[in-house]
Structure 1
């Protein structure tokens, strides 16, 4: 490990290498025209100089054509050149990703702060090894992979990134050149939307090739070095999975797809075990074990390749057989290769026959309609579920009515498609548990959960599906600020309900509660969303402890700070002891999967950071309580002012028109990157509540105005300054790791903003005033954050991270210029009654194509 500072390691191993390989890439005539690679650096230079001189994107593109493109070129040829630039820039982003992946272990200290080795050494030094062992016997992390579309790379491009990273690591110039040429020829643009099954298959690639090895390596280290080979009755790392199970707003997820995804997860883990058994067979060639291994090999081969079920051992029997083989090796063969067989035993413990735990999720509004339909259909069959009319009952009466119910329903009872699919999805969970084990699908999440009725309806539907004692955890998802505020009262009602309390007892007195960041940020602004979640966690921890229930929080963190992401491990290490910390569970999606878990090194490093954040919060944290009363009051004031500021901004008459007409929002649906529709309802009307968080946040990102990550923060800080209360904010910043982490993430959003790109909008008659409001809040937030932190520049304490952001921003600046140029052309053409329809379509295609590279370049936002 180099002793040089992280920034120096980044410059030498990422920046310098990228420049070398990019110069090779630029000489490759992959589009049959050699001058694209020559002209792009010139265009980049014109962009940088142009913005420095306050030129707008149209002026910059015009100047470039005047200076470097022959006068006799037609408009069509010029447009063609801009499309080729887009192609090159997309691939430059891929190249940068590959160089960064290849250098991960050099730039990040794999034995440094937050790694398991570091944690173990700190525990030994502070005489806390026993406390660490006790904690690891019950503590778990569960990253949950979701297919939410923030990643534009098709599967084949992900494969090229992996191969490129390997070739760069070995400095294999010939292989690098070939792979760059392959990259140039490989299409990025998806002509058809992926199905939920396609999304699942692309994410299972990470499970099979990365998590399988990294998670088991961590588990082996814990067992061998912390527990000294003593058996641990805890997986420590679970993996969660949403594609194929997440029905919320996705009409394309069917029961057939859910079952197909579960089967693919099962066959993939069996295939991985089969490969490992084959390797073991080459080593364990001894009497008493050779034939036993051959039998396991045949069993797995028959199941994976021939789909033969007979002879398939149960999971328990499979694990016992591996342990028996290990016992023979230890007793009769001097423990030769026992570590290798132990590795496989640990993998079977971690991944079972399910590989990852498939969650089922549906919106409470859908459940409400489905439940009323169930009541009506059963009534028409002469089998009334309730004596009174359910639809007219009060919430309290509904909870009471739902408590005692013992009927059985079948999917075929229902003609209504949504009812049929909701009921059959529950029967699918039972089938998956029979095939893959209980951990295969044992959680039902209710999004947009606002009341105890919503939980009880889902719980009742489980019981109605011939499952009186469901082996399923019912998890409400509280998303918006009002929902978070009501969460404590909702859970009290449930904990006091006899049927639900009995269910919790059977489930080990554990209650899973999901808290969603993205819609919270979209609705309530950055500070209030995060503070509301923290307060809700404190309240839910207190009430759960009151009833003897262990609450386990599951965070919809996503990736970019604007969606509640940011430096994840810092966030969890900052929560203090008033928030239950039995497990850390969070969603990981899109470019955050490839950036944080895309290679063996980055996956191991980030899983260890996540583990250590829980450990340091519990074992090494000296703080008795994270927030003093004064700190809470300060935080409350800041959040309230920030919230009021954001809500007023959201209600501005230009808010929706600006997003609709000046941003790329409506182009997200055309990118074919995800199976879900880009908004919740089918209406043509542009409605804020229908907007999904990802296109919402992404549109601000494309404008380089990362509003959801900072808007309201500056005004809140300035309010305290003007009221003579800034010292309280300074104390909060000094004493609260939680607050510091929030502001660091906000700084990242500011660092990725670039208002010169859209400065032309301030002259716009309709939107000029609105653009100015955003820009002034950006300037205000930047000024106040620098004052509070004492920094001279944003992200001063994260120099390597900032260098990575700047390198990526430099790559995509020409891309954003082309995008804005095309948007301006569209606006001109839409005003012209004689506009050419084909020309309009061309520029719309240009905007859509330019979305890809910019989003992929934002991968370092987790």
Structure 2
């Protein structure tokens, strides 16, 4: 209450009154307008609208900082709330394996199993770097129980801006995430490897797999982001390389304090000098072999001349070098298939005069895979074409600098046909790569319902195409395929999207096995359940034997990076849980993780019914107008929260297909309606109830871990839903009918999910998460009331419209930040 704001007297004591007015008034049917008006009349003496606006802005500032304090408290409490040796930990797996006589089976699985965590900059959290650092310092001060430190940090927080003056660049986003690579993941992943090695392997036969690999999208993800250029990609690749060298240099200093013996100090000094030089000379010719050779020389001397004293700390360093190389995290390249097609069309027409549309499929494949020309960027004018060509040329240089793992995956968004993959292969060939030089996994991303439906035919054709089969042979007969949850949910609704992805994985597993290919699935899972997040570890543990489990690969983004992987204890716990989930689903699979034929029929029907309900909603004439006019959708693009525009297609009219999943899901979240997380679920279950078959769905919830996880994630979405906030819309002449459709489906879904689960309340089996959600919802309720009040003022063309628009944008921040536990 004593934060040093300008004109902030009594804000801390006023907010509880606004909370009370909202908590009591909204369920009674009062509109946010009535609540805010009553609040000003009852609790303030402010006379002018300008004074009231000033007060609301200050309340937003205050609530933003309340959220930060709660974040810090949760972070500080993490270790006391999560047992190091609890369910899903490596030690628990070890003890279960011993008890069941499966230790050797687990060891064999681990030898060839890797979990790849890919960090993206998708803006689902809005904290600037300065505020993130205060959160970390606050967490430490709370753990130390230092009231004086906490007080000083809260004062700092009061004077620190919560918004960026300018949009962050992709390089800024990369720098922000690299902070965690350097200060959290370098330590965490090394410790995890050490623990796996100690539990399941011996000194004479150590584990060769890195356990966890890191992937990186900022600077490489070009999909819909015109600010990711070839220049940015090069800068980020160099930053990753320089950052890991700095970590090695710092780590080596610790080792040099112990290894002070004759003959040992010299090779370590030579290595230290080499690393130091290359921290400041980014173009220097350092290689990973140079580093490894010096370390191996030191190790040999240590064993032969000094009885191996402190060998463990040297081996720990060698392990990090083996894991992180000169790349630190692998930079993924991603672009939309439609952009590739545009670039390919222009290249082919420029050099051959041929229109690709005039060719047969066979002729097209021949031209793409066996070109008679080499492309030059300077031969073109359009920026996207020039930059795409430059990017393909530079990838070989990045591999030379950072190693092959520096950049070795090219992901194609919106993949639907074989040509979406072959176009990328063609780009490499057009840019002068020989077949054997294409040391890249070319990865289709199936994300739309259409793309998922056609995935089997697409991959079967590719596997049987001689030139692509040869490419896969050079890639050790491994094909990586990405599946997108965010756009899938946006496109097909909650149950349909998740079931289609599950079935597509099964189908692609079968077609890959048939063609003797090891398929690896990469899941684009977002923060909240509506974007594929939710109970992530349970999701992977619930995947049965019908789905290939060669690796676990997943995107981590936005608030999930800071909330689940932002500190050493959190990162270790969540990396570990994610890693062991893949082992559990393979070695310790239960009948619950296998979906029986009769259960498939039930889920399939549920998916079809819910999909129809969702499709009807999308086809409603009010669907897009409601989002544009009654939600915060149009304001996402105006906030300085991320480098990427909120929609594809530039300034043209907003189309559903161009709308990005984050602002789409986020806008429903701001309304506290969370439609993508459950809409259609109630209608689907109700069909069975009407037929007297609800017991079948109850049994499905009880016996299928996949379906149970799906419904529990949906219940998490519903627990963050609060229709009283917008109940005033039910009487709106234009949108009243549409609001009632949304509200009725929510009530039906909530009632029936509780009925099939046997729960009395949502999230009944997750007391920790439930308590966190409730506390956060309580903190942001006044903020949401202010936001709805401001939106209403904008609709009625207030003379202060510009200020109210700014208010809506500011209120986005606290509400989204408060949802950090959604993953």
Same fold (TM over 0.5): yes
| Mean Cα deviation higher: 231-240 or 679-688 | 679-688
Question: Are 1:302 and 1:308, in contact at CA under 8 Å, matched by a contact in 2?
Answer: no
Residue 772 of structure 1, CA deviation? 0.6
Deviation sequence 1:209-241 (CA, Å, 0-9, x none): 111111111011112222133322211211000
In structure 2, relative to structure 1, the CA distance for the partners of 1:495 and 1:307 (3 Å cut) is closer
Deviation sequence 1:145-165 (CA, Å, 0-9, x none): 011111101111111111111
SS of the residue aligned with 1:239?
Answer: strand
Q: Does 1:309 align with 2:275?
A: no
Aligned pair partner of 1:532 in 496, 500, 516: 500
| Correspondence 1:348-363 to 2 at 5 A | 348-363=321-336
Q: Does 1:479 align with 2:479?
A: no
Aligned pair partner of 1:458 in 412, 424, 434: 424
Structure 2: distance between partners of 1:794 and 1:623: 26
* Corresponding position of 2:29: 54
Residue 423 of structure 1, CA deviation? 1.2
Structure 2: distance between partners of 1:287 and 1:32: 66
Q: Does 1:273 align with 2:252?
A: no
Residue 799 of structure 1, CA deviation? 1.1
Aligned pair partner of 1:821 in 789, 799, 802: 789
Structure 2: distance between partners of 1:323 and 1:784: 63
* Corresponding position of 1:789: 757
| Correspondence 1:22-171 to 2 at 5 A | 26-70=1-45, 73-171=47-145
| Correspondence 1:658-697 to 2 at 5 A | 658-697=626-665
Question: Are 2:345 and 2:355, in contact at CA under 8 Å, matched by a contact in 1?
Answer: no
Structure 2: distance between partners of 1:430 and 1:500: 20
Q: Does 1:613 align with 2:581?
A: yes
Q: Does 1:421 align with 2:387?
A: yes
Structure 1: distance between partners of 2:741 and 2:592: 41
| Correspondence 1:445-844 to 2 at 5 A | 445-468=411-434, 469=436, 470-623=438-591, 626-829=594-797, 835-836=798-799, 839-844=800-805
* Corresponding position of 1:384: none
Structure 2: distance between partners of 1:426 and 1:526: 36
Q: Does 1:234 align with 2:224?
A: no
Residue 405 of structure 1, CA deviation? 3.4
In structure 2, relative to structure 1, the CA distance for the partners of 1:730 and 1:307 (3 Å cut) is closer
* Corresponding position of 1:225: 199
Deviation sequence 1:473-532 (CA, Å, 0-9, x none): 100000111110100100011000111000000000000100011111001000000000
Residue 67 of structure 1, CA deviation? 1.4
Deviation sequence 1:630-669 (CA, Å, 0-9, x none): 1111111000000000000110011111101100000001
Q: Does 1:282 align with 2:248?
A: no
| Mean Cα deviation higher: 117-126 or 724-733 | 724-733
SS of the residue aligned with 2:822?
Answer: coil
| Mean Cα deviation higher: 464-473 or 633-642 | 464-473
Q: What CA RMSD, in Å, does the superposition of the two structures yield over aligned residues?
A: 1.4
Deviation sequence 1:6-62 (CA, Å, 0-9, x none): xxxxxxxxxxxxxxxxxxxx2223335322222222222222222243322111111
Structure 2: distance between partners of 1:327 and 1:58: 76
Structure 1: distance between partners of 2:358 and 2:214: 42
In structure 2, relative to structure 1, the CA distance for the partners of 1:406 and 1:444 (3 Å cut) is farther
Question: Are 1:406 and 1:463, in contact at CA under 8 Å, matched by a contact in 2?
Answer: no
In structure 2, relative to structure 1, the CA distance for the partners of 1:343 and 1:777 (3 Å cut) is same
Question: Are 2:8 and 2:58, in contact at CA under 8 Å, matched by a contact in 1?
Answer: no
Deviation sequence 1:399-456 (CA, Å, 0-9, x none): 3443433643232232222221111111121111000000000011110001001111
In structure 2, relative to structure 1, the CA distance for the partners of 1:406 and 1:732 (3 Å cut) is farther
Deviation sequence 1:138-197 (CA, Å, 0-9, x none): 111111101111110111111111111111111011111111111111101112111111
Question: Are 1:574 and 1:738, in contact at CA under 8 Å, matched by a contact in 2?
Answer: yes
Calculate the TM-score normalised by the size of structure 1.
0.93
Q: Does 1:256 align with 2:235?
A: no
Question: Are 1:518 and 1:564, in contact at CA under 8 Å, matched by a contact in 2?
Answer: yes
Question: Are 1:89 and 1:853, in contact at CA under 8 Å, matched by a contact in 2?
Answer: yes
Structure 2: distance between partners of 1:555 and 1:406: 37
SS of the residue aligned with 1:670?
Answer: coil
Structure 2: distance between partners of 1:328 and 1:40: 67
Aligned residues: 820
Question: Are 2:378 and 2:386, in contact at CA under 8 Å, matched by a contact in 1?
Answer: yes
Aligned pair partner of 1:399 in 365, 388, 393: 365
In structure 2, relative to structure 1, the CA distance for the partners of 1:506 and 1:206 (3 Å cut) is same
5+ long unaligned stretches in structure 2: none
Residue 309 of structure 1, CA deviation? 2.1
Residue 624 of structure 1, CA deviation? 9.5
Aligned pair partner of 2:405 in 434, 439, 462: 439
| Mean Cα deviation higher: 411-420 or 548-557 | 411-420
Structure 2: distance between partners of 1:135 and 1:623: 20
Question: Are 1:554 and 1:586, in contact at CA under 8 Å, matched by a contact in 2?
Answer: yes
In structure 2, relative to structure 1, the CA distance for the partners of 1:644 and 1:400 (3 Å cut) is farther
Residue 306 of structure 1, CA deviation? 4.7
Deviation sequence 1:373-402 (CA, Å, 0-9, x none): 11112126xxxxxxx642322445423443
Structure 1: distance between partners of 2:12 and 2:652: 42
In structure 2, relative to structure 1, the CA distance for the partners of 1:583 and 1:307 (3 Å cut) is closer
Question: Are 2:220 and 2:331, in contact at CA under 8 Å, matched by a contact in 1?
Answer: yes
Question: Are 1:730 and 1:788, in contact at CA under 8 Å, matched by a contact in 2?
Answer: yes
Deviation sequence 1:843-862 (CA, Å, 0-9, x none): 00000000000001111111
Question: Are 1:223 and 1:232, in contact at CA under 8 Å, matched by a contact in 2?
Answer: yes
Structure 1: distance between partners of 2:593 and 2:677: 27
Structure 2: distance between partners of 1:263 and 1:94: 33
* Corresponding position of 1:849: 810
Structure 2: distance between partners of 1:459 and 1:861: 38
Question: Are 1:404 and 1:499, in contact at CA under 8 Å, matched by a contact in 2?
Answer: no
Question: Are 1:712 and 1:777, in contact at CA under 8 Å, matched by a contact in 2?
Answer: yes
Structure 2: distance between partners of 1:306 and 1:530: 48
Aligned pair partner of 1:409 in 368, 372, 375: 375
Residue 625 of structure 1, CA deviation? 7.0
Structure 2: distance between partners of 1:400 and 1:525: 39
Flag as ranges the 4+ runs of structure 1 deviating above 6 A: none
SS of the residue aligned with 1:231?
Answer: coil
